[in-house]
Every structure is written in structure tokens, then in C-alpha cells.
Structure 1
Amino acid sequence: MTKTQYTRISWSIYFFTFSTLILLAWITFKAASATENWSYFQLDFKEKHTIISSYGTLLAAALSFISILFVLMDLMYQKRLKHEEIENKEIEAKKKLKDNLEITKLFLEHLTTNCTLQSVEFSKFIVSENQNPTQMNLISFYPNTFPKLILNVDKKAIFEALNLFKPSEDWKKLYVKLYQLVDFYDKSYAELSEKNKIHYSNKYKLSKNISELVDEFIDEVSKKRNQIIEDKETDKSKPNPYFDLLDFVQTKAIEVTEKRKNMDNSELLENGDPASMTIWRKDILQPFFDASLSLRNSFGSDNYKFEVLLNLAQALIRKIDILTTDSVNYVENIEQYNNSYYIEDSENIKKLKEIITQLGDIE
């Protein structure tokens, strides 16, 4: 029984009760008027017993009718209380369903914000990695808590809430799209993070190996340069192209190392590392390798075993190229993910914002 129905029935009972009492008062007045010179509490039971008997019967019937009305009213009241309890439960259940949608909407808003912030970090990394592919560039990852928080909300409750409030005509499609997107960001974020760890680990190992080879290469250059200097002491009139090449490598190595020492972090970020493996390959290793091949083609074998240095330079060039290629490929993967799923105008972010708007329209 609704509140309106109960109110109407209550007022009807009040009306009939009041009307009956007025009718009784009128009949009482008429019955009393039938006795001449009547007074209170002095009824003539001998002469007027018929009227008094009829009046008593009518009064009993009227009071019984009023009693029945109040019993009926009490029954209606009990029914109303039960119905009100059911209504309150329904209201509470509806509120809980709406709260679930509000919580989901809130988490979706934060997920969208995190995605756009993560996109900024991806963009910074892409620029750094493209400019300095052999450097140990890092990606800052924001905490990815909101997809799991959304997935932890009772999915059945969300389904019932969408069915109840129907934020769109095809609310079932909205439900499926919601969990497809959230599940994607939960898994893809974890996948990106894991891939980044693997890439960074592999890059670190390869960079360390290259650094060790560079040290070995420079040590070997110094040894052979000192050997040639000793030989030149015995015959100063004889020019030595091997010494000139080794001297070039040593001078250039000192130059890039000193330049690196004299730069602070802000200059490194702005201009790049002057001692990076890219610089070593371009300005030292490749010129040395080309010149060494030219000397071998011109003079054949040498007394200084330049073949060892040639092989080291070739190995370094190959490893630096692998390092660069891996970085370029990884950047392409990050850029594809960023453009497709994380930047503000990507299709997925637009879909998330559309769902947020639809959930926000619920009253």
C-alpha cells in the first residue's frame, strides 16, 4: 500500500466516523425532543421504552460500525508499515546501485587522467630515446590502481544498476564496453611495464658489455701507440700512418671524455651526452675502422697486429648498431601504444570519456 492510498483511506475513515457521530448527535437530539420538559439523566423508561430501546440499538450499531472502521484503519496502518519497510529497502538498494555507478564513474575519471599523464611520460621518453638511443633513458610509470579498483566493484551490481537507470538505450553494450576498456588498461599497462623492464635490463647488459669493450679497445690503442713510439725512437725519420691513426683515437677519446666531465646535468639533458656510444661510433670507431681497412689494403699486414683493434672496432660498431636498433624498435612500439590508447584524443580515451558522460547523466 502506497502512502497516498493509506492517506486516502485514513481520511475516508475519519470522514465516516465524524459523519456517524454527527448523525448520532442529531438522533439523540430528536429522541430527547420527543419528551416534554426533559432533563439530563432523567429518561422515562416506562413511557418511552420503545424509543429508548430503538435508540440504544442504533447507538450500539453505530459504535460497532465505528469500531470496525478503526480496526480496518489499524489493519491498513500495519499494511502501510510493511509496505513502507519494503519501499525503504528498495530505496536503499537503489541508492547502493547508484553509489556503485558513482564509484565506477569516479575511478574512470581518475583512470582517464592517469592515462593522459602517462602519455606525457611516454612522449618525453620517445623524444629522449630518439635523440640518444644508446643512453639509458627511463620511463616514469604512474601507479595503475584504478583499473583494479573498477574491476573489484561488484560486476553484477553494475549490471543491475545499468538495467535500472538505463543511461543509454543500449546499456548492455555500454556494460560490455566498460569492462573491455578497463580490462585492457589493466593488462596492457602491466604488459608495458614488464616490457620496459626487459628492454631496460637488456639495454643495460649490452651497454655494459660495450663499455667493457671500449675500455679494452682504448687500452689496446695505448699499448700499440706506446709500441710505435718506441719504434720511432730508433728511426725518427720514418713516418708512421699507424701512429697517426692511434694518436687520432686517443686524442678524440680524451676530447669526448673531458667534454663530458665539464657538462652539468641540465646541459646533458638539453644537448645530449657528448660521450655517448652514438658519438663514439660516429666520431671515433667508424673513422678508425675505415682508416684501418685502408691501411691494410695499402700496406697489407703490419707489425703491430692492428687486426686485433680492427676486430674490436668492428664488434663495437655492430653492438652499438644493435643497441640503437633495439631502442628504435622499442620506441616505435611505445609510440604506437601511446598514440592508440593513451594520448587525450586517442579512440580509447574518447570511449572512456563517453562512458563517464553517460554515467554522469543518471539522476
Structure 2
Amino acid sequence: MTDRSAAMADFLAVTDWHEAEARPLAGDASNRRYLRLHRSDGARAVLMDAPPEKGEDVRPFTRIARYLTGLGLSAPAILAEDATRGFLILEDLGDALFARVLERTPEDEMRLYTAATDVLVALHHHAPPTDLPPYSPQLMADMAALSFDWYLKGTTGQDSPARAELHTTIHDLLQLRAPEQDVLIQRDYHAENLLWLPERSGTARVGLLDFQDAMRGHRAYDLVSVLQDARRDVAPATETAMIAHYTAAADTDPDRFTTAYHALGAQRNLRILGVFARLCLRDGKAHYIDLIPRVWGLLQRDLAHPALAPLASLVQSTLPAPTPAILTHLKEQCAT
């Protein structure tokens, strides 16, 4: 038994789940591990194993989970915790991820995305926790520059002198078009992190996962995250309808909101290009390269907005489109 396994056994021993059978669940891009616990009485829960020695910290998750459940939203309840050693036992919200549900019943897309948009409307009626850091234009520009640091450099093998210009252009665009930081943004609000809970009512029908990196940001950010999904194609008609649904429900100026939406979308998709390239080149996770063409397509959709013309010109002159040859080249450099 490894030291980590022994620590997990010690944690479970003082909970109501000490005799439960543990079965692995799919993980994510972090160092966290998840196990489903099955008790002999039929009860189920989820064990999160987040090793502090690998940089993980469960406290942001528990803080945001309690904030969200306090608003009546369906984050997992915390059943037991050991923050020092990095273990949580969480309410099991099931397996009905939006992505899996929509694979089986694609005709439900509008219904599920309307529910996800309504969650954001409800969340944005409330002030965010006071200790959340801001997702500021400066930080967002830093994150967008990952596209140069990893995607572009992985493609060409060289640093680009245009990186500083990209940083300034993104910063100034966001400062002008999306400067507000007045709501909690979950930042990974998409179909692989949302669960369909039809037995519940209202906004509680959407189960929430992977929100521990929440920050204070613009109210369009999570809507971009869910509608411009790097992992599945969302119908353009659904995207248009949900933007209109949000602006009507939140009583927000549609033109101003839509411009902010596309500015944030461009920032987010540039960041994801860099992150996915890094996950391959540094971390050995080559399958993320296969998602890059979708992200590139979403980026082009955002750059088509007239307010983003300066950024569009810069991106088109510096970042190469992800051709099959470029994707193969990135995979060939993947860490082992």
C-alpha cells in the first residue's frame, strides 16, 4: 500500500464510508483523482483525492461549493473533508453529463442549454464572494499569450516578436469592451462539467462540477465557456438563442453584451490553444491536440465581430491555422 493509499484509508476509516467499495471515475486535466464509493445499503458518494504534494488544494472547491449550494444551485454537498491531506467525500450527482445526454438525445440541446443559461442568470443576481481574485484584462492578456508561448512556438520552434503586441491588443480590447468583474465566473462551465438532474426543479436541474478555480469576472464569460465548447459542437442557432435569452432575462444591453461576449471568446480560445498545446508538449497528453481545430474555428467566429478587427488582423498574420501537418508536428513533440 502506497503512502497515499494509506492516508486515504485513514480518512475513510473515520467516516460513514469506511466499508464502501471504491471504483475509479474519469479524471480531468489536473492531479486530482476521483473514486465512486458504493455502500452495502445502496448509498453512493464520490471521493476526491487531491494530493497537496502535487499542488492540489481542496479548500477553494469546498468554499465555492458551499457558496453555490447556499444559492440553491446544485453543487455537490460536502459529506466529509480532510483539507490538510486533500480528501473530500462529495454528494454523488450521477453520470448524466450534458455531453453524454446530448450524444443520446441531441434534440434536447436547446432545453439543456436554456437550463444552463438560467443558472448563470440566477447566479449573477448575487454578489460574488468577497475574497475571489479578479480575472482582470491584465491577467486575461497573460493567459491569451499562451497561444504564442506554446501553440505558435510548438509549431515554429521560435519565439515571436509579435507576442507583446498580442498582449497589448487583448488587454486594450478587454479594458474597453469587457472591463466589468462583478460576478462569480466558474471558468470551466461546459458540457463535460454540467450534469442533467431532471428530477429536480428550476435551476437545481443543472449539477455543477469543477468550479474550484472560480474568480470574479465578466458575466459573459461563463456563457462563452458553455456555448463555445472545445469538446463538442454547439449549434450556432443555440448559441444565438442563448445569448438573446440571457440578455433578455438579465435585462442587459444586447449589443454591448454581444461585443463583450466575442471579445472574451477570443481571449478564451487563444488561451485554450496554448493550454492544449502545453498539455501535449509538456505533459504528454496528446489527445488534446485533436481538439485544437474546433477551438480554432470558434476563435475565427469571435474574430469576425467588427469590434475585434485589430486583433483579427494580428492573429491572422501571426498564428498559423492548425493544418493536419501542424497537428502532426505538435504530436511528434509530445512529452513522454
TM-score bracket, normalised by the shorter chain, equals under 0.3
Larger strand percent: 2
Of the two structures, which has the highest relative contact order with CA contacts closer than 8 Å and spacing of 6 or more?
1
Larger helix percent: 1
Q: TM-score, normalised by structure 2?
A: 0.21
